[in-house]
Amino acid sequence: MEYLVHGDLCYSTGPEHIETKENAYLHVKDGKCLAVYESLPSNCSALEIKDYRGKLVLPGMVDLHLHAPQYAYRGTKMDLPLLDWLNINTFPEEAKYRDTDYARAAYRNFVEDLKESPTTRAVIFGTLHKDATLCLMELLEESGLETMVGKVNMDRNSPEYLTEHSAEESLKNTREWLEEIPKNYRHCRPILTPRFTPTCSDELLLGLGKMMEEKGLPLQSHLSENKAEIAWVSELCPGTRNYGESYDRYGLLNHTVMAHCVHTGEEELDLLIERGCFICHCPQSNTNLQSGVSPVKHFLKKGAKLSLGTDVAGGANLSMFRALTDAIRASKLRNCLLEEHDSALNLEEAFYMATLSGGAFFGEVGSFMPDYEADFLVFSRKRQSVREESLLERLEMLLYTEKELFEMEAKYVQGRKIL
């Protein structure tokens, strides 16, 4: 498989720069980007050309944190803080996924909508139910998206109707789930998923740490999202200096995405950086659940691995364009309200987080630089603009206005057209 994509290319090369190449060519071979050309090289004239002239071509969006079972009730009961929201809204809904028919119907809607969104890669929570999670993985594998999915672990402080009754039971369910994943899956892979420290016993976290190492698996969880949650963790885990240590003492930060980090202080941040842990910022969720505004610009300046997530259903929308601009909006509010001088993110930084920076959790993903996997989106304008616009302006308009001004015309993952 080898071809050229002819269009207006925009891609991040780092936190400070978006490369814009109008009327250019992206050379794709065996699912990867080979090069970008400003004009057609003579030795490429025999190659197939995908003609997207005049259209925006950008890397697929990478959503490093969302909950598939929460998609069906997104946008309901949004006026509760985290711990009440979990007890009143989330846990009763997630318990429904015990019924695999219900799960299949709900997950079909989720996967169809994710496929039609600008997201090409996602790291996803399921529920604690093995069969429902296998069903979600089957649908995602068929979708052509590149994903990681976790069966949730929770064995304490959970309602009787949504719990695993011991660490042993939770670890056994997890091993069975891993064994039942069909060996021929290429696009959907497992990720270990302790819900968060309050619902996971020490014995369970210890067991997951061993499993992570033994099987070479990545892990996802939640960290320092809400002040009441953090106070609870310090009670549950005497002897830890911060919430991050409740995971780190079992080796759980080494190949990991931690969602939120709204209230992460210097000591916890240094630990995450030292371990190479990905921080996943979820600005819409953090405002909906009144968790706070994460100091992400500071994280970026310190060199943390920073990504973006929708956190459906803490966030009500699947759109990573919305997450990207929400990150900018939230950081600007932080800048004004706390009278900080340099906490506002700009377009280049937020675009970097949604593509190249988050993409690194999957490898060389999220850009059109040589050797990056060829995940890309093609957008065309619904109506001809009356203005002269630079390519960077057109990209910014797409990210802020989404479907109002533009429509997605094609979506490719690893060079394969999936839409």
**Which residues here bind ligand GUN, judged by CB under 6 A?**
67, 82, 86, 90, 195-196, 222, 225, 285, 311, 314
**311 part of the interface to Fe ion, by CB under 5 A:** yes
Write down the least CB distance from residue 257 to Fe ion, Å: 10
**63 phi, psi to nearest 5 deg:** -105, 105
CA distances from 193 to 15, 47, 199, 356 (A): 29, 44, 12, 24
Residue nearest to ligand GUN (CB): 314
**8 part of the interface to Fe ion, by CB under 5 A:** no
Sketch the per residue contact string, 229 through 268, with Fe ion: x for CB under 5 A, - otherwise. ------------------------------x---------
Token pair of 308 as six digits:
């973006």
| For ligand GUN, the closer CB: 82 or 316 | 82
| For ligand GUN, the closer CB: 283 or 314 | 314
68 interface partner picked from Fe ion, ligand GUN, none, CB below 5 to 8 A per type? none
Q: What is the 3-state secondary structure (H, E, C) of 34-76?
A: EEEECCCCHHHCCCEEEEEEEEEEEECEEEEEEEHHHHHHCCC
3-state secondary structure of 2: strand
CA distances from 50 to 6, 7, 140, 354 (A): 6, 9, 26, 25
Q: Tokens 């921080």 appear where?
A: 279
- Contact region for Fe ion (CB under 5 A) — 17-25, 311-319, 394-402, 408-416? 311-319
Alpha helix positions (H), 353-411 = 358-359, 391-401
**415 phi, psi to nearest 5 deg:** 80, -10
Write down the least CB distance from residue 70 to ligand GUN, Å: 6
Kindly state the DSSP code that residue 354 receives in the 8-state scheme: I
| For ligand GUN, the closer CB: 173 or 193 | 193
| For ligand GUN, the closer CB: 26 or 149 | 149
Write down the least CB distance from residue 372 to Fe ion, Å: 28
| For ligand GUN, the closer CB: 12 or 133 | 133
**141 phi, psi to nearest 5 deg:** -60, -40
225 interface partner picked from Fe ion, ligand GUN, none, CB below 5 to 8 A per type? ligand GUN
Binding site for Fe ion (CB under 5 A): 259, 311
